[in-house]
């Protein structure tokens, strides 16, 4: 699930604090919706796991595109299948345990809170730090994304008023334009370690927003709100295909496919042998038996992913040697 061995893992309290802010469900959701019967330590581990699974989904989609560009259709299919596992199985299971998705109203309040934080605090701060470090391209991108997030917040605020009865669902805005960005493989394009760390934080935030909004879109469809589902789906696509992609190039997220496979193997192996077993043990000790079983199963899945990636790499290297 996690990228590039230790390089792409969470680095420091600031990163974890930012992701925790983005991952916490809206406080207004009901206790049963939030899954308050889960111990705090289990909830923290599940939030961290969800962030990693969302990031893995977005990263592996990017790795799949790179494999396709290198003429490796089987590896591209493998990355895409694994990306789907991370989102549709692992993230979804963990989200159910934590009660991440509530009512449409609580989901909208959570979304407005997150978009507001990114627009007014996170990206503005990142831009100032990048400008001071001489990373002008990154600073410009951070400011552009902050403006986008402010626009998203305004649309979701209108949507909340609409479903609250002020104007009806017909007033939910769906005019979200997506401009997909191709991720360029290569080394980081910034000089400051702080800028690079901020890019990595932002990548996880955008990946998490993408996953959450797809989940919130499903909830909106269940409640019969087609326009709200469309708003969430289109915004989710902006977060991954535009914001994530733009910053992935700056951060040097994608390399050649053999390098991507090696790093995927290292990350999946670490999660299967260390991270998820540790989370499962803590959940079991806290009395969260269901969560412990889900976390253990996820760890086994990650080892299966590692084996599949290892087989793919061995096949590529065998063909190169022949």
- Structural domain includes residue 27: yes
Find out whether 209 and 238 touch, Cβ atoms under 8 Å: no
Domain housing 243:
13-321
Q: What is residue 320's predicted lDDT score, i.e. its pLDDT?
A: 67
Residues 6 or more apart in contact with residue 294 via CB below 8 angstroms: 93, 94, 97
Listed in order, strand segments (DSSP E) in the chain are none
pLDDT-derived band of residue 166, with 50, 70 and 90 as boundaries? Answer: low
Q: Taking 80 as the threshold, does the pLDDT of residue 207 lie above it?
A: yes
pLDDT digits (tens, 9 = 90+) for 236-261: 999 999 999 999 999 999 999 999 99
pLDDT tens readout for residues 86-114: 999 999 999 999 999 999 999 999 999 99
Please check whether residue 63 lies inside any domain of the structure. yes
In a domain, 197, yes or no: yes
Q: Is 175 a residue whose pLDDT tops 90?
A: yes
- What would the pLDDT profile of 255-276 be if each residue is shown by its tens digit? 999 999 999 999 999 999 999 9
**What is the greatest pairwise CA distance in the chain?**
69
Question: What CATH number did the domain enclosing 82 receive?
Answer: 1.20.1260.10
Q: CA 117 to CA 98: how far, in whole Å?
A: 22
Residue percentage of the chain with pLDDT more than 70 = 87
Span 33-51, pLDDT tens digits? 445 689 999 999 999 999 9
Q: Which of 12-16, 163-167, 174-178 has the lowest mean pLDDT?
A: 12-16
- Is residue 309 domain-resident? yes
**Which tokens sit at 179?**
């401009």
Domain-located, residue 4: no
Confidence band of 139 (pLDDT split at 50, 70, 90): very high
Collapsing DSSP states into helix, strand and coil, what is residue 68? Answer: helix
Domain assignment present for 6: no
Contact 163, 169 (CB under 8 A): yes
Mean per-residue pLDDT, 273-283 = 98
* pLDDT band at residue 164 using 50, 70 and 90 as cut-offs: confident
Lookup result for tokens 């990350």: 267
Pull the structure tokens for residue 272.
Answer: 């299967």
Domain total in the chain? 1
Average pLDDT, the chain: 90
From CA 112, how far away is CA 115, in angstroms rounded? 5
């Amino acid at each position: 699930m996690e990228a590039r061995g230790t390089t792409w893992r969470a680095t420091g309290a600031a990163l974890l604090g930012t992701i925790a802010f983005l991952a916490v469900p809206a406080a207004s959701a009901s206790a049963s919706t939030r899954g308050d019967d889960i111990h705090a330590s289990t909830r923290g581990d599940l939030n961290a796991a969800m962030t990693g699974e969302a990031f893995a989904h977005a990263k592996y989609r990017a790795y799949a595109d790179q494999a396709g560009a290198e003429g490796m259709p089987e590896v591209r299919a493998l990355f895409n299948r694994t990306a789907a596992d991370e989102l549709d199985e692992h993230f979804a299971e963990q989200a159910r345990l934590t009660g991440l998705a509530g009512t449409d109203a609580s989901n909208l309040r959570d979304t407005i809170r997150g978009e507001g934080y990114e627009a007014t605090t996170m990206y503005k701060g990142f831009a100032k730090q990048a400008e001071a470090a001489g990373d002008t391209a990154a600073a410009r991108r951070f400011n552009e994304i902050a403006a986008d997030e402010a626009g998203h917040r305004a649309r979701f605020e209108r949507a909340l008023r609409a479903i609250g009865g002020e104007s009806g669902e017909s007033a939910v805005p769906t005019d979200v334009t997506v401009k997909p960005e191709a991720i360029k493989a290569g080394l980081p394009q910034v000089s400051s370690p702080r800028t690079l760390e901020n890019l990595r934080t932002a990548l996880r935030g955008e990946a998490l927003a993408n996953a959450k909004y797809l989940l919130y879109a499903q909830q909106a469809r269940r409640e019969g709100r087609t326009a709200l589902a469309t708003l969430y789906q289109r915004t989710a696509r902006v977060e991954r295909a535009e914001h994530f992609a733009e910053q992935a190039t700056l951060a040097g997220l994608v390399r050649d496919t053999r390098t991507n496979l090696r790093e995927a193997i290292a990350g999946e192996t670490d999660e299967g042998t260390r991270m998820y077993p540790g989370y499962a043990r803590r959940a079991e000790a806290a009395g969260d038996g269901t969560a412990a079983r889900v976390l253990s199963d996820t760890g086994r899945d990650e080892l299966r992913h590692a084996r599949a990636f290892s087989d793919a790499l061995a096949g590529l290297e065998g063909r190169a040697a022949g």
